[in-house]
Amino acid sequence: MIRFENIEYLYAFAVIPLLLIIYVLYRISRRRRLKRIGDMQLVNLLIPDTSNYKAAWKFTIMQLALSMVIIALANPQIGTRLEEVKREGIEVILAVDVSNSMLAEDVRPNRLERVKRSINRLLDNLGDDKVGLIVFAGKSFLQLPLTTDFAAARLITSTISTDMAGTQGTAIGSAIDLAVESFSQDLSKSKVLIIMTDGENHEDDAVSIAKRAKEKNVVIYTIGVGNSEGAPIPVYQNGKITGYMKDNKGENIITRLDPAILQEIALETNGEFFRSDIGTDVELTELVERVSKMDKQEFESKVFTNYEDRFQIFVALALFFLLLELVFSDKKNKFMAKLNLFVAGK
């Protein structure tokens, strides 16, 4: 396994394309200045040793050297020992509604973005628990099986969008069924399903499915995202709102939070319903408190317990490229020029 000890240094790679743009602009400006002197063929005769070809190579070598320095600063490390460690925690699956109604902006910036922020807050507080991720609309999809790799969970969370919904709609029961299948089948273990949705269930009998989940020792907590006043569903084009979804009469569709069904689902499994419509994340604090009080089970997971630095390799490569740049002349090779391997002016 490879990781970076100081991953924030990788942001410095943004300098690479900036330097490339500056270099290209410099070469264009230089060529324009030379054209003002006179005909380019004549100018090339006056500076016969200058090679644009080699100048470009020298710049490329310097870019490679800079890249190696950036990677060295980030300090790549390789895991050298994989061990099984025992942890105590519970299994938690997060089910996220990705139907179009989650784009409504009755909570800021919109319902789906609010959910993604909430997931990151939850991950900060889940400790040694296992976490999985499901997205659902008309159908449900397992995006992340149960794991202790919270970094992977955060990465997948950042990619969640309504584009993941192959079929529109809101089938909460489908998400519950998939979660039950995704938990371990050990009935003695504590299992928590956290459903984040606006509650507009159109596809199935989620309450009856929740009853079956209870038999598998699954406790369901529901978080209702949105408010009862509702909001229209925006339509985006090129990242900008171009209008709102309309019904058959040509009127804006208003989507509203439906807390009733979410309360029923939670109560069927001895869970609890929380609202997320005031912008303070109070509901997350309360939810974490409930989950932390559940009986924890011991489970094993494989983790790398020893990492070795590998920055030395990239320091050596950086020095190599710097030395290469020093000995690499930007003038034409007279011997090669006689063989006509380079066209005039290069």
Domain limits, the chain? 2-75+310-338, 85-301
More confident residue, 166 or 134: 134
Mean of the per-residue pLDDT values of the chain: 84
Q: What percent of the chain has pLDDT over 90?
A: 50
Residue 46's pLDDT is 58
Name the band, by pLDDT with cuts 50, 70 and 90, for residue 336. very low
Half-sphere exposure of 59 (CA within 13 A, CB side): 16
pLDDT, tens digit, 9 for 90 and up, residues 183-209: 988 767 789 999 999 987 667 789 999
CATH architecture assigned to 85-301: 3-Layer(aba) Sandwich (3.40)
| Among the ranges given (4-18, 55-69, 274-288, 314-328), the one the predictor scored with the smallest mean pLDDT | 274-288
> Which is nearest to 218 in space by CA: 259, 252, 175?
175
Name the band, by pLDDT with cuts 50, 70 and 90, for residue 47. low
Q: What percent of the chain has pLDDT over 70?
A: 82
Please answer whether residues 199 and 258 qualify as being in contact, where contact means their C-beta atoms are separated by less than 8 angstroms.
yes
In the 8-state DSSP scheme, what is residue 252?
B
pLDDT, tens digit, 9 for 90 and up, residues 73-87: 999 988 666 666 677
Average pLDDT over residues 225-254: 89
> Which is nearest to 74 in space by CA: 7, 173, 167?
7
Q: Around Cβ 211, how many Cβ atoms within 10 Å?
A: 13
Q: Around Cβ 264, how many Cβ atoms within 10 Å?
A: 14
> What is the Cα–Cα distance from 148 to 86, expressed in whole angstroms?
12
> What is the Cα–Cα distance from 181 to 90, expressed in whole angstroms?
16
Residue 341's pLDDT is 44
Backbone angles phi, psi at 340, to 5 degrees: 60, 35
Task: Tell me, letter by letter, the H, E, C secondary structure of 213-230.
Answer: HHHCCEEEEEEEECCCCC
Please answer whether residues 190 and 218 qualify as being in contact, where contact means their C-beta atoms are separated by less than 8 angstroms.
no
> What is the Cα–Cα distance from 5 to 10, expressed in whole angstroms?
11
pLDDT, tens digit, 9 for 90 and up, residues 274-295: 988 655 566 788 888 888 888 8
Cβ-based neighbours of 87, under 8 Å, separated by 6 or more:
128, 148, 298, 299, 300, 301
Cβ burial of 140 (10 Å; 0-12, 13-18, 19+) is buried
Task: Tell me, letter by letter, the H, E, C secondary structure of 172-229.
Answer: HHHHHHHHHHHCCCCCCCCEEEEEEECCCCCCCCHHHHHHHHHHCCEEEEEEEECCCC
Name the band, by pLDDT with cuts 50, 70 and 90, for residue 268. very high
More confident residue, 305 or 34: 34
pLDDT at 337 over 60: no
> Which is nearest to 202 in space by CA: 227, 177, 174?
174
pLDDT at 243 over 50: yes
> Which is nearest to 74 in space by CA: 3, 15, 23?
3
